[in-house]
Chain A
Amino acid sequence: MSTLTVSLSRGHVEILQFLRDRAAVVFTFLFPAMLLLLFGTIFGSDGEDGGAAASRIFTASMIAYGILTTAFVTMGSGLALDREDGTLKRLRGTPMPMVAYMIGKALLVLLLSVAETVLLLLVGVLVFDMPLPPAAHWLTFAWVFVLSVVVCSLLGVAVSAIVKNARSAGAILNVPVVALQFISGVFIYPVIQLPEWLQNVASIFPVRWVAQAFRSVFLPDAAKAQEIGGAWHLGQVAMVLGVWCVVGLALCLLTFRWSSRSK
């Protein structure tokens, strides 16, 4: 069978696996939408000072969170689990090409990320009356989406190597996820109210740039005044994400192991 067919059947099993694990569906997949409903409701959906409504800002920012959970957390914990329970090792003992394993995982991540984003947009549009952006913005949306899914997946693979015990993978992976969201303008907006050094720290990591780019897609142009430097900086977004792609890939190649370090 061709690598493509093998990859597709690998992806199929990955997706079955995910959907049948109800805990994963609820905690990984539905959690960002639940948070959005909570935040949106608590902070209100009225526009303030002609700016964007809080619920709308949250919708845009939460897409970054959605991708973090579906790509970074799902990839990282899934790989840690496959490694710990010997699935990876067993697959290594078959003619399956390595690339088919990764494509299988990538298909799962891609499907989940698309579904997660659609779900968040539906909540935004249906519950909080968020208007959909003009056609030109969807192009930005597309490249930001693809780049951020790739970056988060690669970093998930890389971080899985330092997860010693799959049981704790969720907890370990969520530490950077939650911490970065607080300093990257997802939970606390606008990010310019944070101390400058914290803004600088946030700017090293991809989350700030992803959230900012999604806000540029869904918020009115005037909202850019609330961003660091008072502009959307899309060129910089592409650059930072591109660099993280390279860093992530290098880390993956350096740290990838087929089985746990212990016997």
Chain B
Amino acid sequence: MVSGDVAAVEVKDAVVRWGDTTAVDGVSLSLGRGRVLALLGHNGAGKTSLLQVCEGFRRPDDGTARVLGLDPVGDHDELMPRLGIMLQSGGVYPWAAAGEILRLFAGFAANPLDPDMLLDRLGLRKVERTRFRRLSGGEQQRLSLAVALVGRPELVFLDEPTAGMDTEARHTTWQLIEELRADGVSVLLTTHLLDEAERLADDVVIMRNGRVAATGTPAELTAAAGIDLLEVRADPGLDLTGLRAHHTVTETSPGEYTISGALDTTGLAGVLTWFAAADAQVTAVNSRRRTLEDVYLSLTAAHATVGAGK
């Protein structure tokens, strides 16, 4: 493998326009070697357009993209043997069988993985002789993934890799991606699935309306948001008036209180102090951290206030 000092992907201020629509509006991101970056965002947030630039299918209208230190459009021929690209849909000979397709793509590579191994790993053995058009959506996705991986790439682009897969296939795919990462392969993937990003990604970039709404590791993104909810078990029927001055409190069932709002260290101390002052016997405290999903929803739902973080 080539030197690790060149980033796998380096995008600077990229702009992508389709006619009058600006799909990507000044996005910068960087993917280090051997890392997994998840690009999150609603449909139409600009994820696929950004991938197209990285994959060399089009030039950005403004800004730059370097992939493995090379120009994805100009250095196409040099770059392709080192990349694995999984497109979102379509684009495999509909009348050819799964096994034939995978072997054809294996034939393009100098030192391919064993197609049989991939067929087994991705549970495609039983449909090896089935024509592509007769495969289920999940099987087509798995074949697409196999096609992207068969050339032993250094860097893979996966556009919604687990869309349409069942739970088992999804877990196999996650495992494969973790193995790729362990082998030093860099991965740039897009997804709608927050648990997927949380489990796989070293870095997360949340896109909204073609811009970067937030970046960081999953831990950073969730930690910044702090504790979301506190569940306290104590004596039933307490008078909550005092506590409600600073927090939203509900007694969900007798003796079970959920508290939210302003739960930083001081806030937490305040809550427990209040229980102590009320002479309540606290028997359990449970804190719920914000998940990536909460962060994502608050970022993508918010209006222009959060949007412009370049």
**Within 8 Å CB of B151, what residues of A?**
94-95
Q: Which residue of A lies closest to B78 (CB)?
A: A95
Is B83 an interface residue when CB atoms closer than 8 A count as contact? yes
Q: Does B95 lie at the interface of the complex (its beta carbon under 8 Å from any beta carbon of A)?
A: yes
Q: If A94-B80, A96-B108 touch, does A20 touch B89 (CB 8 Å cutoff)?
A: no
Min CB gap A214→B, angstroms: 32
Which B80-132 residues have a C-beta within 8 angstroms of A? 80-81, 83, 85, 87, 89-96, 100-101, 103-105, 107-110, 131
Give the chain A neighbours of B95 by CB distance below 8 A. Answer: 16-17, 20-21
B96 near A17 (CB under 8 angstroms)?
yes
Q: Which of A94-115 contact B (CB under 8 A)?
A: 94-97
Interface size band for A = 20 to 34
- Residues of B in contact (CB 8 Å), total 31
Q: In the bound complex, do residue B80 and residue A13 qualify as a contact, i.e. CB atoms below 8 Å apart?
A: no
Q: Is the CB of A1 within 8 A of B110?
A: yes
CA separation between A5 and B107, bound complex, in Å? Answer: 8
Contacts of B25 in A (CB 8 A): none
Quick one: given A93-B57, A94-B108, are A17 and B93 in contact (CB under 8 Å)? yes
Judge whether B80 and A93 touch: CB under 8 Å: yes
Give the segment of A31-39, A84-92, A120-128 that binds chain B.
A84-92
For the complex, what is the distance from the CA of A89 to the CA of B91, rounded to whole Å?
A: 7
How far, in whole Å, are A39 and B147 apart by their CA atoms in the complex?
49
Residue of B nearest to A259 (CB): B57
A10→B104 contact, CB < 8 A: yes
A92 to B87, alpha carbons, bound, how many Å? 11
Q: A21-B95, A258-B57 are in contact. Are A86 and B107 (CB under 8 A)?
A: no
Q: In chain B between 152 and 205, which residues have their CB closer than 8 angstroms to a CB of chain A?
A: none
- Give CA–CA (A17, B151) in the complex, Å: 23
Task: Please determine whether A90 and B57 come into contact, CB atoms closer than 8 angstroms.
Answer: no
Closest chain B residue to A10, Cβ basis: B104
Q: In the bound complex, what is the Cα–Cα distance between A96 and B81 (angstroms)?
A: 9
Rounded to whole angstroms, the CA-CA distance of A93 and B87 in the bound complex is 9
Report if A85-B110 is in contact (Cβ < 8 Å); known contacts: A93-B57, A95-B80. Answer: no
Bound complex: CA of A92 vs CA of B83, how far in Å?
A: 11
Q: For B100, what are the chain A residues with a Cβ–Cβ distance below 8 Å?
A: 13, 16
Q: List 24 A-B contacts (CB under 8 A).
A: A1-B107, A1-B109, A5-B107, A9-B103, A9-B104, A13-B93, A13-B96, A13-B100, A16-B100, A20-B95, A85-B91, A86-B89, A87-B91, A88-B91, A89-B87, A89-B91, A90-B90, A92-B57, A93-B80, A94-B80, A94-B109, A95-B109, A259-B57, A263-B49
Q: Enumerate the 6 nearest inter-chain pairs by beta-carbon distance, A residue then B residue, closest first.
A: A86-B91, A93-B85, A90-B91, A20-B95, A95-B81, A86-B90
